[in-house]
Amino acid sequence: MVTVERAAELLASQELVAFPTETVYGLGADATSATALAKLYELKGRPLGHPVIVHLGSPDWLPDWAIVDERARCLARAFWPGPLTLVLKRQPQVLDLVTGGQDTVGLRMPAHPLALELVTLLGRGVAAPSANRFGRISPTTAAHVRSEFGEHLPLLDGGACKVGVESTIVDLSGPQPAVLRPGAISATQLAEKLGFPVSSGKKDVRAPGGLKSHYAPVTPTRLVSPSRWPETVTEMVEQGQRIGALSSQKIGLETVWIEAPSAAEDYAHNLYANLRRLDAAQVDWILIELPPGGEAWEAVRDRLRRAASQGD
C-alpha cells in the first residue's frame, strides 16, 4: 500500500499506480507520458489501439484535452465529479496511446476523494483503465487488484467502490449524443440535463468495452430467466454439473448460492465481487438469474450479458 503523496510521486516519475474510484479501481499512468502509457498497456495485456479514459481534477482542465462545447460543459457541470465519461474531439497534442489513434478522447472527473486528491497532486490527467487484466472482471476492492497484479504494483487502498460498475460513457463527438456504455448515470438523466434526446443501446465499434467477451469469469457463465430458473438448476445438477448461482430463488441443489440483491444499486455495488466469488468456487457453471428490465438495471444487465458471452 502507498500513501496518496507517494502515489502522485510515482505517477510523476512515469510509474503505474492502482487507485480507487467510485466506480471500479483504475490502473493509473500519467496521461501525458508515452513511457508510462506503454507500461500500462504492457501490464494490463491490453492490445494497442484501445483508447483509455483520462481522469481530470477539474472541469477547468477539459480544454487542455478536448474541444469543449456547451453540451460537454452542461454535463460536466451536472455530473462531475462522478461516474460519467465524456467522449469529445481531442486536442492535437493528446497522445495516440491515449486515444487509440482516433480523433476523440474519453474524459472524466472521478468522485472518490483519493482519486481526486491523486489527480490534483499530479496536476495532470491520469489515464486509467480498470485495474484488471485485459478481458477479466473489473476490481472493486484493493484485494481484487492484488489478485490481478500481485504485491509489487503500488496500490492506493480506498475501500470498496461505491458504484461497482464502470462509468457511463457518452459520445458527444458527433451531432447526436449517444451512450456507448451504460453506467450509473442513465441516458434519461443525461437527456434531462441537455434538454434533448440521448440515444442508448447503440454499441460503438470503437469502444472495445463493447466487445462481448469483456468482464468475463473463467468459469462458463449462463443467464437464465426467472421462470426457467428452477428447472434449469435441477436439470443441470441432475446431469452432474456443480452450480454456482446468483439468484433471488434458492433451489437447494446449488454448490454455492449468492442471494441476488433486489435493488439495482446494491446489485451493481456487489456485482464484480459476487462474480469473483463464484469464479473462485470451483464449479462447472455459473448461473445467473436475469434481473428485471428497466433503465435502472441497464448497466447491470449489460455487464451480465458480457460476463455470459464468452465463446460467442
Number of residues that bind ligand TXA (CB under 6 A): 29
Q: b or e along 201-222 (b: 16 or more beta carbons within 10 Å of the residue's beta carbon)?
A: eeebebbbbbeeebbbbebebe
Instruction: Name the residue type at position 283.
Output: V
Cβ-based nearer residue to ligand TXA, 272 or 285? 272
d(CA 143, CA 160): 9
Stretch that binds ligand TXA, among 22-30, 215-223, 235-243, 287-295 (CB under 6 A): 22-30
Tell the smallest beta-carbon distance from residue 212 to ligand TXA (Å): 12
Tell the smallest beta-carbon distance from residue 273 to ligand TXA (Å): 16
Interface with ligand TXA includes 26 (CB under 6 A)? yes
Distance of CA 74 to the CA centre of its chain: 23
Tell the smallest beta-carbon distance from residue 258 to ligand TXA (Å): 23
Tell the smallest beta-carbon distance from residue 75 to ligand TXA (Å): 15
Interface with ligand TXA includes 85 (CB under 6 A)? yes
Cβ-based nearer residue to ligand TXA, 180 or 287? 180
Interface with ligand TXA includes 207 (CB under 6 A)? yes
> What does the H/E/C string look like for 99-162?
HCCCCEEEEECCCCHHHHHHHHHHCCCEECCECCCCCCCCCCCHHHHHHHHCCCCCECCCCCCC
Interface with ligand TXA includes 53 (CB under 6 A)? yes
Stretch that binds ligand TXA, among 51-59, 70-78, 250-258, 295-303 (CB under 6 A): 51-59
Please tell me what DSSP assigns to residue 228: G
Q: What angle do CA 127, 130, 132 make, to 5 degrees?
A: 125
d(CA 175, CA 271): 34
d(CA 221, CA 311): 10
d(CA 300, CA 183): 8
Tell the smallest beta-carbon distance from residue 167 to ligand TXA (Å): 3
d(CA 46, CA 5): 28
Cβ-based nearer residue to Mg ion, 47 or 174? 47
Residue 196 CB neighbours (<10 A): 10
Tell the smallest beta-carbon distance from residue 209 to Mg ion (Å): 6
Stretch that binds ligand TXA, among 64-72, 184-192, 203-211, 236-244 (CB under 6 A): 203-211
d(CA 251, CA 248): 10
Interface with ligand TXA includes 206 (CB under 6 A)? yes
Interface with ligand TXA includes 169 (CB under 6 A)? yes
Cβ-based nearer residue to ligand TXA, 289 or 298? 298
Tell the smallest beta-carbon distance from residue 239 to ligand TXA (Å): 36
Peptide bond preceding 292: is omega within 30 degrees of 0, i.e. cis? Answer: no
Q: Which does 200 bind (CB under 5 to 8 A by kind): ligand TXA, Mg ion, none?
A: none
Q: Which residues bind ligand TXA (CB under 6 A)?
A: 21, 23-24, 26, 50-53, 83, 85, 87, 99, 102, 104-106, 110, 128-130, 166-167, 169, 180-181, 206-209
